[in-house]
Amino acid sequence: MAFVLQDIRLWDPSDPGKTALIIDGDRVGDGTSMVNEIIDGGGCTVTPGLVDAHVHLVMGAQYRRGVDLSGCASRQTCLAALHEAATSLDAGAWLIGHGWNEQTWPDATPPDRTWLAEFGDHPVVCWRCDLHAAVVNDVVLEHLADAALSDAARRTGVLVEADAWECLIPAMPQLTAEDSQAALRDAAQWLGSMGITAVRTMEYRDELEHVIDPIAVELPLRITVTMLDRTLPLDLAWIKNRATALPRVIGCKAFFDGTIGSRTARMVSPYLDRGKHGLWVELALRDEDEQWCAAVVDAGLTPSIHAIGDAAVARAIRVLQDVPRELHASIEHAEVVPGDAALYDLMTSMCLSVQPVHRAEDAPTVERCLEPAAMKRLLPLRRLLDDGAPLAFGTDWPVTSADPMRTFAAAITGRDVDGHVRHAPIRSDEAMRCMTTEAAAMVGLPTGAGLTPDAPADFVIWDADPLSWDGHGDPPRPRSTWIGGVQVWPPT
Ligand SMILES: [Zn+2]
């Protein structure tokens, strides 16, 4: 069964000028098969399906059930949203919000537990947008009476890094697998509405096996997985023996540092407002990073390292430099690139999985809290592309919005969340490549060749041409999104 989509403007890295696309089954046709149907594209632009190279799919799906505070422009609007959500909760039920960012508030002052004093018997948890810090109320602190919380966390209700990850999360109620699957189905469709046809997700084995695996074949989304389980000794044998072919597990991730917003990204020079360099965390703190990398490579898997500060990125480069190229070892975020020229050069031959929206959100903090030269090294997309670095764009959703057009706008304008333009822009075709073919090739998805004959027929028909959008005002949106020759959005 083949059909032709005609009267379109096809944007494809391999052949930008085509005006028709032949779909043969689930693949792009080569023109030799019999065409059963002709669909008129009405002159619309068609691009390959968008790829998000770094998401937390299960977490993001679950968070969509909580209170979204990401659009709140002040502490008061955050509180109003929480209070409104609290009115429909049962007595004593947990109230969970996420996405606050004090950088977007007039006073830029982070909240503490006093902020959440008026929620009665509801345990309240509000995650910062970067998920590396949460503020909780006294009810939650009582729940954590026996946990190994730091004194600062107990005093302020602000739980950073290990306090949040190792004490808070295990104490929070978990959705059932069925509820998580329902949330995941909704999320996959919602991603499709934004033109996303494939993601690489970061997951723990438990979530992968209980939430994703049972419904992976029916989800309207291509998925590869990087595992977050990282306690040594690593157990990786199960990956080879998985009962299911989908989704494919491609590698493992380790964390070397935290985030700029929480001042936990590890920097060569200290933060001007704290006098400290940020943190080494986990494997890097314990000097187990080389051992972890060797174990991942021995299993034939891709090592990926979360590194945001320039000291952490430098360490990631050193750890990954001897990994065979075909494994596509990646640095996740690489937000402040090293000042050292030799290390920078080494880095440009590695896969960089980067988030332009992180840059847009962190730039005001970098300007205030780091040495002036750091801004030039804050995810310098223009320079990285000029130097031939392979770049995959992603959002880190739910750490930032999953909306790919925010990524696109941040990249092509160089504009930050406060409206200032601090970075050299890149061209829209470059951004589109980093959001489609380059991203796919880097994270083991089958659409790296774009819409060439015999490639998977994953594409988006747009209501306006994204390649000629200037990044201001309303973005183009998908008219329809297709995976393997089947329209997945709007649902038919
Ligand atoms: Zn992430």
At 227, give phi and psi (nearest 5°).
Answer: -80, 140
CA of 99 to the centre of ligand 1 (A): 14
- Output the CA–CA distances (angstroms, integers) from residue 84 to 3, 36, 414, in the order listed: 49, 53, 36
Q: What is the pLDDT of residues 344-379, one digit of tens each?
A: 999 999 999 999 999 999 999 999 999 999 999 999
Report the C-alpha gap between 439 and 56 in whole angstroms. Answer: 16
CA of 303 to the centre of ligand 1 (A): 14
What are the tokens at 116? 């959440």
CA of 44 to the centre of ligand 1 (A): 34
CA of 434 to the centre of ligand 1 (A): 18
Residue 395 scores a pLDDT above 90:
yes
Report the C-alpha gap between 303 and 300 in whole angstroms. Answer: 9
CA of 58 to the centre of ligand 1 (A): 12
Residue 13 scores a pLDDT above 80:
no
CA of 199 to the centre of ligand 1 (A): 12
Mean pLDDT value across the chain:
94
Percent with pLDDT over 90 in the chain? 85
Of 262 and 21, the one with more pLDDT:
21
Residue 331 scores a pLDDT above 90:
yes
Residue 16 scores a pLDDT above 80:
no
CA of 201 to the centre of ligand 1 (A): 9
pLDDT at 174: 86
pLDDT at 51: 98
Q: How far apart are the first and last CA of the chain?
A: 18
Q: What is the pLDDT of residues 136-188, one digit of tens each?
A: 999 999 999 999 999 999 999 999 988 998 899 999 998 899 999 999 999 99
Q: What is the mean pLDDT of residues 23-31?
A: 93
pLDDT at 132: 83
Domains along the sequence of the chain with CATH: 66-171 (3.10.310.70), 177-448 (3.20.20.140)
CA of 358 to the centre of ligand 1 (A): 11
Residue 64 scores a pLDDT above 90:
no
Nearest to 26 by CA among 224, 222, 244, 225: 222
pLDDT at 18: 87
CA of 464 to the centre of ligand 1 (A): 30
Helices 404-413, 356-369: axis angle to 10 degrees equals 50
pLDDT at 340: 96
Residues with a beta carbon under 5 angstroms from ion ligand 1: 396
Report the C-alpha gap between 328 and 487 in whole angstroms. Answer: 31
CA of 297 to the centre of ligand 1 (A): 21
CA of 243 to the centre of ligand 1 (A): 26
pLDDT at 103: 79
Asked if 116 and 134 count as a contact pair (C-beta separation under 8 A), the reply is: no
**How sure is the predictor about 190, in pLDDT bands with cuts at 50, 70 and 90?**
very high
CA of 475 to the centre of ligand 1 (A): 25
Strands (E), 101-217: 124-128, 133-136, 158-160, 196-203
CA of 52 to the centre of ligand 1 (A): 11
CA of 91 to the centre of ligand 1 (A): 33
Residue 14 scores a pLDDT above 80:
no
Nearest to 98 by CA among 74, 123, 71: 71
Asked if 49 and 446 count as a contact pair (C-beta separation under 8 A), the reply is: no
Q: What DSSP letter does each residue of 340-408 carry, written as one string?
A: -HHHHHHHTTSEEEE-HHHHHHHHHHHHHHS-GGGGGGB--HHHHHHTT--EEE---TTSS---HHHHH
CA of 49 to the centre of ligand 1 (A): 21
| Cα angle for residues 193, 203, 131 (degrees, 5° grid) | 80
Report the C-alpha gap between 77 and 83 in whole angstroms. Answer: 10
Percent with pLDDT over 70 in the chain? 100
